């Protein structure tokens, strides 16, 4: 891991401490795994990797850690139909595109609408906390495979 990954982990740990979150060795290892691997991942992906360091850890503990990280904005849940929830290490507000065939997930950074206007329009019925947009289609690789 390069020093920028380590700085990123240290910044996340400081942020968690500031928000009164307990820092455990397992949480630190999850942060290292996320930093090392990048990309989108499932709790099972993290679990299979972390078991090498913490053989007695449970999948439930991994889910709890990811929930904690999601709550403070370090990861974003990407819920897809008929598939295990994925997590995105990009905690900033953004959207996703999912390949219908291979299930590959990619980030999409677009400002699609003014969230403040939506909040104002819906304020009597809802208190909007967050939003995301999911695009579905076929990635370039699957389109090429489908054509042959």
Taking only the tens place, the pLDDT of each residue in 108-133 is 887 777 777 777 777 777 777 777 78
Tokens 């400002």 found at: 111
Which residue spans of the chain are classified as CATH 1.10.10.10? 1-91
**Can you state the percent helix, strand and coil of the chain, rounding each to 5?**
45, 15, 40
Structure-model confidence comparison of residues 53 and 16, the more confident one: 53
- Are 21 and 64 within 8 A, CB to CB? no
Residues across the chain = 148
Which residue spans of the chain are classified as CATH 3.30.1490.190? 93-148
Closest by Cα among 137, 63, 133 to 104: 137
Is 1-91 assigned to CATH 1.10.10.10?
yes
93-148 CATH, one of 3.40.30.10, 3.30.70.20, 3.30.1490.190, 3.30.70.890 = 3.30.1490.190
So what's the pLDDT on residue 50? 97
């Amino acid at each position: 891991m390069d020093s920028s990954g380590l700085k990123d982990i240290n910044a996340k740990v400081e942020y968690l401490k500031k928000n009164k979150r307990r820092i455990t060795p397992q949480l630190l290892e999850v942060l290292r795994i996320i930093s090392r691997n990048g990309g989108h991942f499932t709790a099972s992906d993290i679990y299979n990797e972390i078991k090498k360091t913490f053989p007695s850890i449970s999948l439930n503990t991994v889910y709890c850690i990811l929930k904690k990280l999601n709550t403070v904005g370090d990861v974003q849940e990407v819920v897809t139909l008929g598939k295990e929830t994925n997590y995105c290490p990009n905690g900033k507000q953004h959207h996703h595109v999912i390949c219908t065939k291979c299930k590959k997930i990619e980030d999409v950074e677009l400002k699609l609408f003014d969230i403040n206007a939506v909040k104002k329009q819906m304020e009597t019925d809802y208190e909007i906390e967050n939003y995301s947009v999911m695009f579905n289609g076929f990635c370039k690789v699957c389109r090429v495979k489908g054509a042959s």
